[in-house]
Amino acid sequence: MDFITILKSVNDFVWGPPLLGLLVCTGIFLTIRLNVLQVFKLPKALKLIFTAKNEGAGDINSFGALCTALAATVGTGNIVGVSTAIGTGGPGALFWMWVAAFFGMATKYAEGVLAIKYRTTDTNGEVSGGPMYYIEKGMGKKFKPLAMFFAGSGVLVALVGIGTFPQVNAIAESVNATLGVDARIIGIIIAVLVAIIIFGGIKSISKVSEKVVPFMAIIYIIFTIAILIASADQIIPALGAVLKGAFTPTAAIGGFSGAVVAKAIQMGIARGVFSNESGLGSAPIAAAAAKTKWAAEQGLISMTGTFIDTIIICTLTGLSIIVTGVWHGEAKGALVAQEAFATILPTAGPLLLTLCLALFAFTTILGWCYYGERCLEYLAGVKAITAYRIVFVVMVALGAFIKLEAIWIIADIMNGLMALPNLIALLALSGVVVSETKVYMAQINKKVK
């Protein structure tokens, strides 16, 4: 049995029906308890992105916290992850990404609320928060081992999961295919740039994220919409394929070997979580640093991250791949999206996608460096931060040498290990989330009157 086979077996166990069911059921449970807040309060949440008062303790403003969280989520999952999901599970996988995102918005809201409610300050005077803190402070000291398990998993995800290997590999593969630059050189360049930024801490990461994230998202959205306009006659058939593939097997077409419904569900939910990280417990680490005195306010802002990441960006990626027909070709990973972009601009398209992918992946690296740092700070204190940053930069440099298949499997395994303790905490503390929501909404209604 080779290494890849062993990894696949571990991944199938971690991401089996129990965890997938727990992810979706947690989102459904919170959706019910919060009265479908992700629908009725979405306009308010989107408005808060730009109008939040930024009053209260914190290291960065609410917009900066959202951009830092989006920096970590809007990454290769939106391009490579969607391509992989559709390439393995068929168009139906996109539908299950929507399902995961819809209920994931309620999950992300709860994470943001608890992040602010139970945040603390480290010995350097910087804000720390996230699942490890709301597990220990919210559920009680006896659950500290669960908090430590989350934090340990978070460090591993940052160093050998989402934070490094998939991002660097995606950049290296795309740039190499488009410009012919050696992957080793790309890895070193990325590592140097990351080092320059991360040693400035959350404020430095936030400043970069605030500038890069909105720019890259707008450029990507404009170009994918252009692809859909150019293939407008295929949009309705594509949506039909998504809905049909969600509930019936997808037949083999071209290089696509076919997929059963179970595979569409698994790939859709797994890649959806990989992309928007709802339930994973990562985003609340950034949310905790926001300057706000209302936990629910940051919860609403955090919730928009899942909406932007999956409902908008992943949907545009998925439809672009489906309407152009490249999903049933021989290409894999980022190359699938490159072929879609090349359908309207044969030369400039792949170059533009390479730029978007590089920016997406680079900001994800920055965001995840911060997540891993906060997790390690919880476990070992501030004295370990400098050593962690050095190791992180080394892992980034090594990312260009790891095989793609192994990268995604390792990242999926690490995701699952993080999600489990966080989901347990969200369920256990759902009453606190509801209580904080009622307090905030009462305050809002009072101001309106």
The pLDDT value recorded for residue 40 is 94
The pLDDT value recorded for residue 448 is 54
The rounded distance, in Å, linking the Cα atoms of 354 and 332 is 15
End-to-end CA distance of the chain: 68
The pLDDT value recorded for residue 297 is 92
The pLDDT value recorded for residue 428 is 96
Are 169 and 411 spatial neighbours (Cβ–Cβ below 8 Å)?
no
**Burial call 87-126: b when 16+ CB within 10 Å, e when fewer:** bbbbbbbbbbbbbbbbbbbbbbbbbbbbbbbbbeeeeeeb
Residue 188: is it exposed, middle or buried by C-beta count within 10 angstroms (0-12/13-18/19+)? Answer: middle
- H-type alpha helices, 324-429: 334-342, 348-380, 385-398, 404-428
The rounded distance, in Å, linking the Cα atoms of 369 and 395 is 11
The DSSP output letter for 329 is S
DSSP-assigned beta bridge partners for residue 253: 256
Predicted TM-score (pTM) of the model is: 0.90
The DSSP output letter for 389 is H
| Other beta carbons within 10 Å of 200 | 12
The rounded distance, in Å, linking the Cα atoms of 189 and 177 is 17
The rounded distance, in Å, linking the Cα atoms of 71 and 283 is 10
Show the domains of the chain with their CATH numbers: 3-448 (1.20.1740)
**For residue 283, what are the contacts with CB-CB under 8 A and spacing of at least 6?**
69, 72, 73, 108, 111, 112, 277, 302, 305
**At CA 99, angle to CA 8 and CA 434, rounded to 5?**
110
**For residue 185, what are the contacts with CB-CB under 8 A and spacing of at least 6?**
none
Are 358 and 174 spatial neighbours (Cβ–Cβ below 8 Å)?
yes
DSSP-derived secondary structure for 14-82: HTSHHHHHHHHHHHHHHHHHTTSHHHHTHHHHHHHHHH----SS-SB-HHHHHHHHHHHHSSHIIIIIH
Are 324 and 317 spatial neighbours (Cβ–Cβ below 8 Å)?
no
DSSP-derived secondary structure for 113-170: HHHHHT-EE-TTS-EE-SHHHIIIIII-GGGHHHHHHHHHHHHHHHHHSTTSHHHHHH
Mean pLDDT per 10-residue segment, the chain (449 residues): 82 79 92 96 92 76 84 76 85 92 96 95 88 96 95 89 80 79 87 91 86 87 92 94 89 70 84 83 90 91 93 93 86 79 83 83 88 94 94 88 70 81 96 96 74
Residue 10: is it exposed, middle or buried by C-beta count within 10 angstroms (0-12/13-18/19+)? Answer: middle
Structure tokens at 400: 């260009």
Q: Tokens 């005077």 sit at which residue?
A: 125
**At CA 237, angle to CA 233 and CA 239, rounded to 5?**
115
The pLDDT value recorded for residue 20 is 79
The pLDDT value recorded for residue 403 is 62
Element (H, E) at 401: none
The pLDDT value recorded for residue 364 is 87
